[in-house]
Amino acid sequence: MIRDVIGSRDILFPTRKWKLVIVDWEKYDLYREKDFNGKKVPCGLGPFLENMSRLKGNQNVSITMVINTAMGCAPELRVKYHDLVKRTGLNVEIFFRENVARDIGAYDFGYKKALESNYDGDIAFMNSSVSGPFTDYWLNKFRKLHYSKENIGLTGTTLNMFPLIENGNEVGCHKEHVQSWFLYSNMTVLKKAFGNSLLFEGADYKEKQGLIENGEIGISQRILNEGFGINCMSFPELSYFKGENWPYPFRLGWRVKNFELQKYINTTIV
């Protein structure tokens, strides 16, 4: 049983292999910015892949890039992705798909590609709002957090939950989940929890609320219901398993209501 911690000396594993599923929408610019506490933070596939190409360990990561498109992707749009990959020299497969179920549908596409290739290791899913990475072997931090406690099934940068109210009083929480801009897991957990697809048969993935309930929340809830826990980089010493008291300050509306937590809004991952 692996019980190493984030700061241990063996944080660099030059032989470790990963699968990384990166998702983008065809109409997003490769280079864009997001507002974080009044500051502009670079994000998009361009900065992310270029940063990654300059770091040690990038050759250990097999990238599945999934581009969501409206109705096929125009040739000139396809070229920008191919040119970006050529410039970085990273190990990337690019796929274009109809934008069904948005990010979660693209995550599912990448998961199925991993199954088809008989991949059986650790896997991460992220969308292009994530910024970074900035350190060599950056996925090691997530691996070490993921295995720092027994039976963790899903790891991310931040978590969220909805308070459970009875007679006007908060009596617990529900809909606990890892924020889906970055999800780290392993194929053993995912195959046990989901089988051949991350999507739920017959579930609604067309409307925004359905996407949240069946996608971001649904994935974490399925993993929690299978007996696995969730944790995040924001508070690496904590974890949550179904039925426990919620140990995190994150709760419904935290990104707009709690000023003290604003530093965690940034999806920079390392």
- State pLDDT tens for residues 211-222: 678 788 999 999
Q: Does 7 map to a domain?
A: no
Residue 215 in any domain: the answer is: yes
pLDDT at 2: 31
Task: Please report the pLDDT score of residue 267 as a whole number.
Answer: 66
In a domain, 269, yes or no: no
Do the domain assignments include residue 210?
A: yes
- pLDDT tens-digit series, residues 141-187: 999 999 999 999 999 999 999 877 777 777 668 899 999 999 999 99
d(CA 83, CA 70) in angstroms, rounded, equals 21
Count of the separate structural domains present in the chain: 1
Residue 26 is assigned to a structural domain of this protein: yes
Q: What is the pLDDT of residue 13?
A: 46
Distance CA 211, CA 110 (A): 17
pLDDT reading at 81 higher than 60: yes
18: CATH: 3.90.550.10
- Over residues 51-70, the pLDDT tens digits come to 999 999 999 999 999 999 98
Domain membership flag for residue 35: yes
Please check whether residue 68 lies inside any domain of the structure.
yes
pLDDT, residue 5, reads 36
Which of 19-28, 68-77, 113-122, 233-242 is the least confident region?
68-77
User: Which pair of structure tokens corresponds to residue 141?
Assistant: 């931090």
Q: Note whether residue 249 is domain-resident.
A: yes
For residue 97, the model assigns a pLDDT of: 92
Q: What number is the average pLDDT over the span 39-49?
A: 92
Helical pair 102-116 and 187-194, crossing angle rounded to 10 deg: 110
Which residues pair with residue 69 across a beta bridge?
Answer: 98
pLDDT of residue 150: 95
Give the helix/strand (H/E) hosting 76.
helix 75-88
**Domain ranges, residue 123:** 14-264
